[in-house]
């Protein structure tokens, strides 16, 4: 979901991601072609993002972060709001910690999200297969087994930055393929 026209790649460094998304899904926008990515567009975009979602997870947010607008839209739309707690002194944790104080569900791992969302779908039959794994997800999954492996080791084996590996592991955890243990250790399910 873009905050500009679909003919504009923003930010430009996301060009590869833009075309990967087109190859596996759709890039959508409510803005006309050639609409530039102006700041006023992003709150409008966030309203649609939260509306398309079962819930939103806010990982980091300063006190005036745009992601807090998304959380507000989610609440108005009856969606779940989750937040990852952070260091009390860190500016990037002020927004998430405030959301938790205001009643957002605290997230320490994927199971915290799944335990809230999945019961709403108990008894329903889904005929869809699990989505295919991205190349990065497949690459990371191949290093995991039932023996716990630290995120730094996974990062080294996958030759990726820890932040990127963390995002991939969260995606795999949400798909039910891996579990996080104490101390940033991960195992394959």
pLDDT at 129: 59
Distances (CA, A) of 77 to 51, 55, 80, 117: 7, 10, 9, 15
pLDDT at 40: 94
pLDDT at 13: 95
Compute the distance between CA of residue 176 and CA of residue 188 in angstroms, rounded to an integer.
9
pLDDT at 162: 93
User: Is-above-0.75 flag for pTM?
Assistant: no
| Cβ neighbours for 64, distance < 8 A, ≥ 6 positions apart | 95
pLDDT at 2: 95
Q: What is the mean pLDDT of each run of 10 residues along the chain (189 residues)?
A: 95 92 87 96 93 94 94 94 96 97 95 87 60 86 90 94 93 89 90
pLDDT at 81: 97
Query: For the domain bounded by 135-188, which CATH number is listed?
Result: 1.10.10.10
Residue carrying the six token digits 């992003």: 42
Domain boundaries, the chain: 1-38, 55-107, 135-188
pLDDT at 22: 85
Reply yes or no: is the peptide bond before residue 79 cis, omega within 30 of 0. no
């Amino acid at each position: 979901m873009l905050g500009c026209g679909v003919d504009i790649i923003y930010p430009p460094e996301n060009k590869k991601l833009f075309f990967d998304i087109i190859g596996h899904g759709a890039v959508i926008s409510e803005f006309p072609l050639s609409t530039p990515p102006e700041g006023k567009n992003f709150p409008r975009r966030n309203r649609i993002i939260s509306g398309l979602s079962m819930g939103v997870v806010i990982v980091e947010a300063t006190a005036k972060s745009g992601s807090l607008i998304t959380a507000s839209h989610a609440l108005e739309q009856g969606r779940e709001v989750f937040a990852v707690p952070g260091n009390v002194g860190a500016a990037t944790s002020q927004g998430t910690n405030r959301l938790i104080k205001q009643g957002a569900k605290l997230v320490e791992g994927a199971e915290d999200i799944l335990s809230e969302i999945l019961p709403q779908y108990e008894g329903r039959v889904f005929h869809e297969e699990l989505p295919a794994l991205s190349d990065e997800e497949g690459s990371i999954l191949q290093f995991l087994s039932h023996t716990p492996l630290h995120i730094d080791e996974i990062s080294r084996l996958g030759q990726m930055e820890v932040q990127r590996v963390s995002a991939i592991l969260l995606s795999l955890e949400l798909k039910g393929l891996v579990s996080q243990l104490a101390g940033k250790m991960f195992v394959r399910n």
